A and B are shown apart, each in its own frame.
Chain A
Amino acid sequence: MTDFLSEILVNEKIAPDFYRLRFTVPMDTEILPGSFFSLKDELPTGTLLRRPFAFSDAGKGEAEALYQIRGKTTHALSLRKPGSRFQILLPCGNGFPIDKIAARQPVLIAGGVGLGPILFLYRSLSRKNREPLLVAGFRSASLIPHSQLPASTVICTDDGSFGVKGSVLDGVREISAKQPLFFACGPTAMMKALAFEAAQRQADAFVSLEAMMGCSLGACMGCVVPICGGGYKRVCKEGPVFDAKEILWTSM
């Protein structure tokens, strides 16, 4: 783990309130799809804690993240110009367990800004010739960051203004995958629905969860999620990627 002074290389709008950030990272740090970094906001926004962001790409001393303007920190971040710097703690968390794929068909599911880590996984699996399928859901056609999406992406919109009308699960039903293995990142409700869908299909699903974090490195116990069989696990340390079967969804 390093607390690194990073420089912004690209900070571009890819859809309304949706941005792609490219920045420097230490050359020798291995960054896995599903892992994240914790950003310290040096601007006078009045916010205190760092904010966690999933990597959407990494390699050769550079990395990317997709983010959505949700509050003061992300708004301030959207105004940053290339060349400005911020402090990032990295790499945090585990990553998607791609060794579990074996002979199964990886089906990647993204909801909204959850696209970032899913795109990273998609590129990584494509390079390994694992031919992943990608399903991405958005609220409406105007919010789709087309420049980021591979041509084969099954796009779903809640209002039916583009692609499949409905949730990403409706999109998943459009594709035929024998022995699917699901990897997902999106709103909690989406991942909860996926967990039940996967259980019905007797398939495995690995989901990347989001939580308010204190330290992002396992010390404060602030970001826990409830686990089946009792107890809690830390999103920042044992996660953010969990086997969906592990999570006590009824308490989420």
Chain B
Amino acid sequence: MDIDVTVKIGKGVLPTPTGAASGTFGYGDEFAGLYDPSKLGAVYTKAISLFPREGNPPPRLTETPSGILNAIGLANVGVEAFIEKKLEFLLKQSFATVVNIAGSSPDEYVRTLCRLSDSGVWGFEINLSCPNVKHGCLAFGTDPHHVENLTALLRKETDKPLIIKLTPNVTDIGTIAEAAEAGGADAVSLINTLLGMAIDVKTARFKLANRTGGLSGPAVKPVGVAAVYNVSRRVKIPVIGMGGIMCADDAVEYLLAGAKAVQIGTGNFITPGLCDSVYDGIVDYMKEKNLSKIDDFASLLQDA
């Protein structure tokens, strides 16, 4: 049986369902030689803002049980340097380049997206969910009206795949996903990190300079799987699942829950070639279960 691993998102097609999550894979070049680009569906870039951002003061990172807590603060080179220095490498690759965009005002999101609309990138992932900056992002992403309005503003500016990245730090993520769909999004990706805090009891100091950070890694996987399950039953657009994928089975779990594609984040830090083995594992699972396309996963899911 022929297996079709492609995933349709709006007017675009991802070559495979696996992707490297924003903020964990840089701009793709840092991991060069450590993974097989032909197995990767997409690189979701480190968040790009209109102007360069230094990010938060250190310490920015700490480890917690089965997870990591980060408060990088969207450190990035800014859209102009991204176009000049980072884009050429990405556009030469077989995978889709999805530019993750962050901003502190709707105007910043729009201007950053417009600057990239003719650049040859495959599509956009709009970061409405970073918990580590004071303005924008999470402040927009927790309010369905803001999400719908901002999505609609961006939709007017591009025909390329437009993915809205959602935060789990809300009462009902389904409501936010519906707002993104109503605004014209082609897909939603979830979950971004969960707001967390860690304190060193010996020194009575916060572990992170930002005090709070975003929790990722295996600790958040059940939260992600539940969110994907819920959202995929609330919207018709594809759901891209992520949160704690450390092996192929974890990715399959997301696909069974209703995701059409997955992103690997924290797992890249521990296993730089993880995207390869996740892809291989998805294909093996499809062969074993006689699935011919990614859409077939959801029909397998049964009650306990």
Contact = CB atoms under 8 A, between A and B. Distances in A.
Interface residues of A, number: 31
A232 B58 contact: yes
A13 B62 CA distance: 29
A219 interface: yes
A219 B273 contact: no
B120 interface: no
A211 B57 CA distance: 13
A83 interface: no
| Chain B interface bracket (under 10, 10 to 19, 20 to 34, 35 or more) | 20 to 34
Nearest to B58: A224
Interface stretch (A22-30, A40-48, A56-64, A95-103): A40-48
B66 A48 contact: yes
A214 B61 contact: yes
Contact of B31 (A217, A221, A223): A217
Nearest to A87: B271
Most buried by A among B33, B67, B269: B269
A211 B268 contact: no
B269 A215 contact: yes
Interface string B48-69: 0000001101111111011110
A248 B66 CA distance: 33
Contacts of A50: 269-270
Nearest to B54: A231
Contact of B24 (A1, A3, A220): A220
Contact of A215 (B62, B75, B268): B268
Interface in B247-282: 266, 268-273
Interface in B1-44: 23-26, 30-31, 33-34
A215 B24 contact: yes
Contacts of B217: 48
B54 A212 contact: no
A4 B30 CA distance: 17
Contacts of A224: 55, 58, 60, 75
A230 B68 contact: no
A214 to B, nearest CB: 5
A212 B71 CA distance: 13
Contact of A214 (B55, B65, B70): B70
B263 to A, nearest CB: 14
Interface in A31-89: 40, 46-50, 87, 89
Given A213-B61, A218-B30, A49 B55 contact: no
Given A214-B269, A232-B54, A220 B62 contact: no
B269 A46 contact: no
B205 to A, nearest CB: 14
Most buried by B among A40, A89, A216, A219: A219
A214 B68 CA distance: 9
Given A48-B68, A230-B54, A220 B270 contact: no
A251 B269 CA distance: 27
Contacts, number: 95
Contacts of B54: 230-232
Contacts of A47: 63
A166 interface: no
A29 to B, nearest CB: 12
Given A48-B217, A50-B270, A217 B30 contact: yes
A40 B271 contact: yes
A1 B268 CA distance: 14
Nearest to A223: B61
B272 A217 contact: yes
Nearest to B28: A219
A213 B30 CA distance: 15
Contacts of A223: 58, 60-61
Nearest to B20: A219
A89 B218 CA distance: 21
Given A221-B55, A224-B60, A226-B58, A48 B270 contact: yes
A222 B72 contact: yes
Interface in A209-252: 211-226, 230-232, 251
A50 B268 CA distance: 11
B66 A49 contact: no
Nearest to A224: B58
B63 to A, nearest CB: 5
Given A3-B271, A219-B46, 17 more contacts: A1-B33, A40-B270, A40-B271, A46-B66, A47-B63, A49-B68, A214-B68, A215-B30, A215-B268, A219-B25, A219-B26, A219-B268, A220-B26, A221-B46, A221-B55, A222-B72, A226-B57
Interface of B: 23-26, 30-31, 33-34, 46, 54-55, 57-63, 65-68, 70, 72, 75, 217-218, 266, 268-273
- Nearest first, the 4 A-B pairs at minimum CB distance are A219-B26, A222-B61, A219-B30, A215-B269
Interface of A: 1-3, 40, 46-50, 87, 89, 211-226, 230-232, 251
